Amino acid sequence: MLGGVHEVVIVVYDGVQLLDVAGPMEVFDAARRILGGSGYRVRLTSLDGNDVVSGAGARLGVAAPITEIHDVDTLVIAGGWGFSAAATEPPLIAQIRRLSARATRVSSVCTGAFVLATAGLFDGHRATTHWAFCEALRTKHPRIDVEPDAIFVRDGRIVTAAGVTAGVDLALAMVEHDHGATLARTVARWLVVFLQRPGGQSQFSTWTEAGACSDDALRKLVSEIAADPAADFSVPAIAQRLSVSPRHVSRLFRRELGTSPGRYVERARVEAARIRLESGRDGIDVVARRCGFGTAETMRRAFIRELNVPPSAYRERFATTAS
């Protein structure tokens, strides 16, 4: 850190995910402005120093080639569809190893984890990446302890974020570590995001699950569950709706949705309750009844299973960043 300014260097390449770069940059820039123009300096670097084109087609200005970067406190490797090419570029990997040795902390956003993993920087560490690539990361780099549902993972000086917008969560955690929770909370409110996002990256959506069903009757049923989660969706009731046996109901849910009927309905009810808690003023008891839980305690247990946070805390976190 020079003169009280924390040097953040973000490594980019053609095909980088725009939000993987812009999210952390906006967090650090907001912190800098709140701190009166000090605190952070963010620079983009590429292997040859040329501007890069993101996967979405936007051109990103690069400050310098990576070989000319020497001062770095936080090294960030952005992800994106070009990560495979970046991870197989020996000169880039060599420079990332060089900078990581100088940095106070080393981090990745989304599939940027594969680039750092190729550099051997994750070996023996816990890490995460975009949910759709966690299994590939675990298979390709078995020495990494991959945490598939984490928004971000801190293991010593190694910090990794999940998919895309999780880079915002990552940068907020860094600001909180550097300057305290008050500044991080102020930045989060300014950007209208969670300071600490409830739940994990694999949060469930009944609307997206409906389209995944190849069985027409089950697809219709899934839509009915999303539309009226408080209705009777016990296994016998579902069997009657589908005109099949209870045993076949279980087989059908496992085959089409990868879970049991009871777990699916619970997750749908949690989603419905979550939306009500975010957008309404009904009490916890009322939300529990209207979403099919019956009691607040039943809903509390379901929230902890699905989101790792009780309904009251979920509402408080949403209100804190959206007020």
CA 280 to chain CA mean position, Å: 25
Tell me the C-alpha to C-alpha distance, in Å, between residue 158 and each of 2, 75, 107, 116, 118: 21, 10, 6, 10, 14
Q: Give the DSSP per-residue string, 28-81.
A: HHHHHHHTTS-SEEEEEEESSS--EE-TTS-EE--SEEGGG----SEEEE--BT
Residues 129, 161: Cα–Cα separation, whole Å: 6
Phi, psi of 246 (to 5 degrees): -55, -40
241-252 pLDDT, tens digit per residue, is 999 999 999 999
pTM of the model: 0.70
On average, the pLDDT of the chain sits at 91
The confidence score (pLDDT) of residue 320 equals 45
pLDDT of residue 43: 98
Q: What is the pLDDT of residue 55?
A: 96
Answer whether 135's CB lies under 8 Å from 111's CB: no
Contacts of 165 (CB under 8 A, 6+ apart): 19, 23
Same domain as 297, residue 227: yes
Q: Residues of the chain with pLDDT > 90: what percent?
A: 73
Quick check: is 196 in a domain?
no
| Pair (171, 244) in one structural domain | no
Spatial distance between the Cα atoms of 183 and 164, rounded to a whole number of angstroms: 23
Residues 17 and 100 in one domain: yes
291 part of a folded domain: yes
- Residue 84 CB partners (closer than 8 Å, separation 6+): 114
- Predicted local distance difference test score (pLDDT) of residue 143: 95
User: Which residue's structure tokens are 């298979």?
Assistant: 139
Please report which confidence band the pLDDT of residue 133 belongs to, taking 50, 70 and 90 as the band edges. very high
Last residue within a domain, chosen from 191, 216, 246: 191
CB 273 within 8 A of CB 299: yes
Residues 32 and 174 in one domain: yes
User: Is 17 in the same domain as 106?
Assistant: yes
The predicted pLDDT at position 204 comes to 60
Is a pLDDT exceeding 70 seen at residue 202? no
Q: Which of 191, 223, 241 is the last residue of a domain?
A: 191
Task: Evaluate if residue 4 carries a pLDDT over 50.
Answer: yes
Task: Identify whether residues 182 and 66 lie together within a single domain.
Answer: yes
Chosen domain end from 132, 164, 191: 191
Cα separation, 46 vs 42, in Å, equals: 14
Residues 103 and 249 in one domain: no
Is pLDDT above 80 for 197? no
Does 198 reside within a domain?
no
Q: Into how many domains does the chain fold?
A: 2
Shared domain check, 215 and 185: no
Could you tell me the CATH number of the domain that includes residue 301? 1.10.10.60
Output the pLDDT for position 193. Answer: 83
End-to-end Cα distance, the chain: 34
Structure confidence at residue 205 (pLDDT):
62
Q: Which domain holds residue 138?
A: 6-191
The answer, yes or no, to whether residue 149 has pLDDT greater than 90, is no
Q: Note whether 113 and 141 are within 8 A (CB).
A: no
Judge if 84 and 136 occupy the same domain: yes
Residue of 95, 35, 89, 30 whose CA lies nearest to 67: 95
Q: How confident is the model at residue 292 (pLDDT cuts 50, 70, 90)?
A: very high
In this predicted model, which residue has the larger pLDDT, 44 or 256? 44
On whether residue 200 sits in a domain, the answer given is no
Same domain, 49 and 179: yes
The 10s digit of each residue's pLDDT in 253-280 is 999 888 899 999 999 999 899 888 877 7
